[in-house]
Structure 1
């Protein structure tokens, strides 16, 4: 399985988790990667024009002598359109589409923003690919379940059977995560909490700040670092919370330097997620990799990635701000007694270390080789 491949990689939205995924894999991969990418801007336009643009760039690569064994793309590409625009020799290559997200179950702020055309792009791409990879079992299940219901809404010619066609060629492939150095001795002080996610409503920041208000009423001391990607417009709660909790803030906003972000994770006692939507949860898992205690909703991909059923029920809170605050009070007491981890300070790290890129890369490289061998066998 040590064969080295030439991979044609197509990424219409080279930013955020999409970029981190390709950069992390490519750093340790034994394969050779030709990455044709577009800047992470105006995602709807990217989904509509990227097949044309990337087909043109592929033609240019071919004129320069480019040859490949397999195509790897993300869910932002209309793969069928792309294949129809490139030379036949490239059309015949096996292809993998990686679903970081999907446009069927991805939340929209307003229902009128939902556009079924982008769902059909995801469907067509999945049907055109040799294999379909999802970043979590949760993502695979929710997409295929909702897809069947979506197709039943079509007025006629409902391709319901396509759902099982996709399922039968699907693979769950967790992405790798950034490995952090081992943390040093904890500095004195109150409980340090990190919340890090996109500053959007689907991450439910209101729940987090409501829980902090309860901590304040209970006279619980704490420090917070509220980080994550933000856009020109973001929920008003962040503006009010910055003023309300100004005496508790260590870091606020997007950390331009990766080292500053890593330092916050390595200093944190607890990493909190309040997400209503998450297909994988990079930031939570990187927090765990840094040795922070993950405190997350008992839903989405978290029970899968943080191994709830392997004796890690204490990582989860149920429901509302009161329950989150109750867990934070309990953890604050344990920190005060120097016993946050009950004698197992590396428990979270051990759970997520299988996701470190140094470990994941060889497994993912081998999956691509497997696809080539299966194609050669016919």
Structure 2
């Protein structure tokens, strides 16, 4: 069988994008020999510059980018791909850009499949969400985004497979944030102020320096929205009830400095929540979708230590998927927190790339 060349247009060469390139380079021979797939990067970009492959340039990709990258536009990338006759093209969005997602539809219309860690395309207005899918169907292209939810395990695939097999999903709940899992797991088991654990999590790289989206519940809510829409719900972000971890007097444009100035307010609030729990219960910050009640919530709960959510350790995540046929016994999926997060996300993107490649191979076989 001939080797199928896959042209990956990579947007974003930060930690995740760089890890992805290195993983492909390390396994390139394996993919050729065992999967008959040749992964190439004819274009790689950061937010403003792009390196377009050139004949005879054989240096390391970092050196090529530093020496030869030029300003780019999406239109220019599409034109380059067309002029070079690039086939089997996958645009990989390893950014968090809200601007790049606006170009997804033109990319699809010009023959690009898409793999994204970027959540924005899946949490914008439902009309945009549906327009992307209409174009995917019209132009017979694929859009995969498993890493929108969890990098180490195929949660979205499992939920999608259940949904499209006719299994009625009644509820999804769980701890979706590895950083908040770490924070509350420690807070529940140690006699340490909540703010001290937050500070430790930031130093470990588990929390961003600007952690407003995490502690306000926005990051968990985005994942909840992606999951709800995967179940065919026309849910908007404003439909989600979010119980923020912040008091009103901790909110503001300079939240980080205010938080550290008023840390005792949050410490006192959570300490009270901790000591007033029922015995053998622990605090967890969860997302929950109840299909029957049409409720989507992000909230702080007290959970029995014997439950899947209550037993979490370190920065583990967990998803409880309830279905009509399983009743009150959920399908439980644990997130893997044992590996470096950047590496795990990059591996998740690569897995999606290979899934798209296999679809392309199947189509080519049918055409032959």
TM-score, structure 2 as length reference? 0.39
Higher relative contact order at CA 8 Å, sep ≥6: structure 1 or structure 2? 2
Higher share of residues assigned strand: 2
